[in-house]
Chain A
């Protein structure tokens, strides 16, 4: 498009969009209350939000980014006009370069929006059967069912990643709560000391009949520590997924704007890479986690579900009740056999804690950070994510 035409169209578009949202409602500096009314076609989102927004674009990262770019082109046009009026050819050349960067950012924005639309509407529905990501593939009664559209059956990838994380977090919570209860029972039972004294205390004995249970307390402590670490990893994953949308609304428009300016190009590229990485790659990795572990962890039958759905290791932690009856221990045999059972307890717990809840979330983050570093480099920014990887 001719530069001069765009220079006219951009400010007109900006003014049209801004006309709906600026100046009609504003915060009174004295009272802090909102004053003014919104014009036709716009609304005030809440009484405490002093702004008018057109109904169709509020919160949309594509429109916010486009608006910022149009504003930028508007400013570039003003500067170009000044440079022309003052007959400064070198400045004109520089401004044309900035204009080209703004156009590249605009093209990137359109490409990203198209790609996301294609993934959600074409790619995922088309490949859902191949990758086992249809409604019939997820266990009944799990949170993941809510990620599928009840009519079309199409999966919302971000919702699926969140619900999968919620399912794993729930299972971990149950494991931890059960083990906490068992630890208290075992501790109490193992401390019971029975004593008997005769002849005024000259003769007697005392015995701790369940003291051998003390030997298992270290194992329980270790397990609880590991479950604590696993809960942290899954909660962090849930937080990152929760914030992915926020990154997209906040960081992407800002990144697109900064990337279009010469002196903030690197920072803009980094912001774009971070937003895209956490919005696109991170949920994708979480969905891949589900495909990886579903046959080991999830089963379709929920009839005998203990933790909301059935999984292979459903019997990993039994409903135990270790107690004492003065001189005798009760329930200790089942407890000991559970704790020392390699196939039914040790391996399942190791799988749940180390693979499902610690290794996979860390791998997801590492892959995402690797993508962010590569993508930032691809769009002209060099960032060092080594420190973040260390935090992960």
Chain B
């Protein structure tokens, strides 16, 4: 599960080290400038020193916001969010554990989504329900019956045969299309989970310290700022947006009919009108796992761009949305 803490990453030490290194390099250059009696180098060094100070300020501010972010208890928000909407509730109050932060909440949401789309040990999800119906259809389609109504069948077999489930072949294509959509949904949820893991581990442990380091080095400032912006976007904005997704997705998933429970017209043996409820499940899953993440990446790109400007750089995250 993705985690949210500053303690275990050793990020402060890494950043402190990089700043000290930058000051060391600048001091050396300053001494060189003095030795050469170059006022240009001395002025440049002063400018660079300001940039190192700015980096320290940016990093301190970022750590402050990350600290606040990690200490947020989302159950507070989920209680408030449910106030105005009674039917259907935006979210199950018991969905998030007490004292869950944004990373806990977004991880829980993605696990909940996987359970609903694929299935859990207690209840089959959309994928397992559709797969079950398709298996029944395949068996029904292969069924043959023979009938010899006469009394002398052994001697003179006269009768007829029928494949009563031949019509199921016409429904199979629609069913497999739904199954394909559900598999894509499952892949999407899994990739979001891995992205969240990457954000919780890689963003703060690797991208942010490297960004802070390069942000302090002359001529590498743009690169460093972009890395810091990317790290903060992934670490702060991604879990937050996934949490908002949870609020949006909950009524969609819970409002989608179970294939075998009323008011669905599909029976557990695959008989009845199954195509529409199957289509509804595929549509809900695609909506939550493809449409919403596409929307998320648009927002992440906007946040990343603004943050990069703050750090004096440019960042284009629009390529992330092509993942969808």
Cβ-defined contact, A27 with B322, below 8 A: no
B156 CB within 8 Å of chain A: yes
Known contacts A32-B98, A187-B167, A200-B155: A224-B174 contact under CB 8 Å: yes
B25 CB within 8 Å of chain A: no
Residue of A nearest to B279 (CB): A231
Q: Which residues of B contact A267 (CB under 8 A)?
A: 237, 299, 302-303, 306
Distance of B316 from chain A, by nearest CB (Å): 10
B51 CB within 8 Å of chain A: no
A173 to B273, CA, bound (A): 8
Partner of A266, one of B80, B168, B247, B306: B306
Cβ-defined contact, B306 with A265, below 8 A: yes
Known contacts A49-B82, A59-B83, A201-B157: A264-B303 contact under CB 8 Å: yes
B9 CB within 8 Å of chain A: no
Cβ-defined contact, A48 with B93, below 8 A: yes
Among A200, A239, A265, which residue has the most Cβ atoms of chain B within 10 A?
A239
Cβ-defined contact, A49 with B165, below 8 A: no
A310 CB within 8 Å of chain B: no
| Size category of the binding interface on chain A | 35 or more
Known contacts A49-B93, A246-B90: A197-B273 contact under CB 8 Å: no
Cβ-defined contact, B166 with A190, below 8 A: yes
Distance of B36 from chain A, by nearest CB (Å): 34
Question: Using a CB-CB cutoff of 8 Å, which residues 239-292 of chain A contact chain B?
Answer: 239-240, 242-243, 245-247, 249-251, 254, 263-267, 269-271, 274
Known contacts A235-B284, A270-B302, A391-B290: A224-B171 contact under CB 8 Å: yes
Q: Which residues of B contact A46 (CB under 8 A)?
A: 82, 93
Q: Which residues of A contact B99 (CB under 8 A)?
A: 29
A217 CB within 8 Å of chain B: yes
Cβ-defined contact, A49 with B303, below 8 A: no
Contact with B along A217-229 (1 / 0, CB 8 A): 1001100110111
B310 CB within 8 Å of chain A: yes
Partner of A381, one of B94, B156, B302, B322: B302
Cβ-defined contact, B161 with A195, below 8 A: yes
Known contacts A184-B167, A187-B169, A225-B177: A236-B287 contact under CB 8 Å: yes
* Interface residues on chain B, number (Cβ under 8 Å): 75
A383 CB within 8 Å of chain B: yes
Question: Using a CB-CB cutoff of 8 Å, which residues 44-103 of chain B contact chain A?
Answer: 75-76, 79-85, 90, 93-94, 98-99
Cβ-defined contact, A194 with B173, below 8 A: no
Residue of B nearest to A206 (CB): B161
Known contacts A59-B83, A231-B279: A387-B321 contact under CB 8 Å: yes
Contact with A along B111-138 (1 / 0, CB 8 A): 0000000000000000000000000000
- Among B196-204, B210-218, B248-256, the stretch that binds chain A is B248-256
B244 CB within 8 Å of chain A: yes
Distance of B166 from chain A, by nearest CB (Å): 3
Cβ-defined contact, A232 with B85, below 8 A: no
Cβ-defined contact, A235 with B280, below 8 A: yes
Cβ-defined contact, A188 with B303, below 8 A: no
A227 to B277, CA, bound (A): 12
A38 to B204, CA, bound (A): 41
Q: Which residues of A contact B80 (CB under 8 A)?
A: 51, 53
B39 CB within 8 Å of chain A: no
Cβ-defined contact, B84 with A228, below 8 A: no
Cβ-defined contact, A193 with B160, below 8 A: yes
Cβ-defined contact, B168 with A388, below 8 A: no
Q: Which residues of A contact B162 (CB under 8 A)?
A: 188, 191-193, 324
Partner of A271, one of B173, B284, B299: B299
Distance of A157 from chain B, by nearest CB (Å): 19
Cβ-defined contact, A270 with B161, below 8 A: no
A326 to B299, CA, bound (A): 65
A185 to B165, CA, bound (A): 9
Distance of B297 from chain A, by nearest CB (Å): 7
Question: Using a CB-CB cutoff of 8 Å, which residues 319-335 of chain A contact chain B?
Answer: 324, 326
Cβ-defined contact, A184 with B159, below 8 A: no
Q: Which residues of B contact A266 (CB under 8 A)?
A: 302-303, 305-306
A384 CB within 8 Å of chain B: yes
Residue of B nearest to A266 (CB): B302
B192 CB within 8 Å of chain A: no
Known contacts A195-B161, A270-B299, A270-B302: A176-B248 contact under CB 8 Å: no
B183 CB within 8 Å of chain A: no
A60 CB within 8 Å of chain B: yes
Cβ-defined contact, B79 with A51, below 8 A: yes
Known contacts A198-B156, A250-B244, A387-B321: A59-B85 contact under CB 8 Å: yes
A183 CB within 8 Å of chain B: yes
Cβ-defined contact, B156 with A188, below 8 A: no
B170 CB within 8 Å of chain A: yes
A71 to B47, CA, bound (A): 37
Cβ-defined contact, B287 with A239, below 8 A: yes
A385 to B299, CA, bound (A): 10
A196 CB within 8 Å of chain B: yes
B14 CB within 8 Å of chain A: no
Cβ-defined contact, B298 with A384, below 8 A: yes
Q: Which residues of A contact B84 (CB under 8 A)?
A: 58-60, 249
Cβ-defined contact, A387 with B322, below 8 A: yes
A53 to B295, CA, bound (A): 31
Distance of B143 from chain A, by nearest CB (Å): 10
A217 to B247, CA, bound (A): 44
A227 to B79, CA, bound (A): 40
Partner of A224, one of B94, B159, B173, B244: B173
Contact with B along A152-196 (1 / 0, CB 8 A): 000000000000000000001100110011011111101111111
Q: Which residues of A contact B163 (CB under 8 A)?
A: 187-188, 191
CB-defined A-B contacts under 8 Å, sample of 15:
A27-B98, A45-B82, A49-B82, A53-B83, A59-B83, A180-B171, A184-B165, A191-B163, A192-B161, A240-B287, A243-B248, A263-B307, A266-B306, A267-B306, A270-B299
- 4 tightest CB-CB pairs across the interface, nearest first? A59-B84, A187-B167, A187-B166, A177-B273
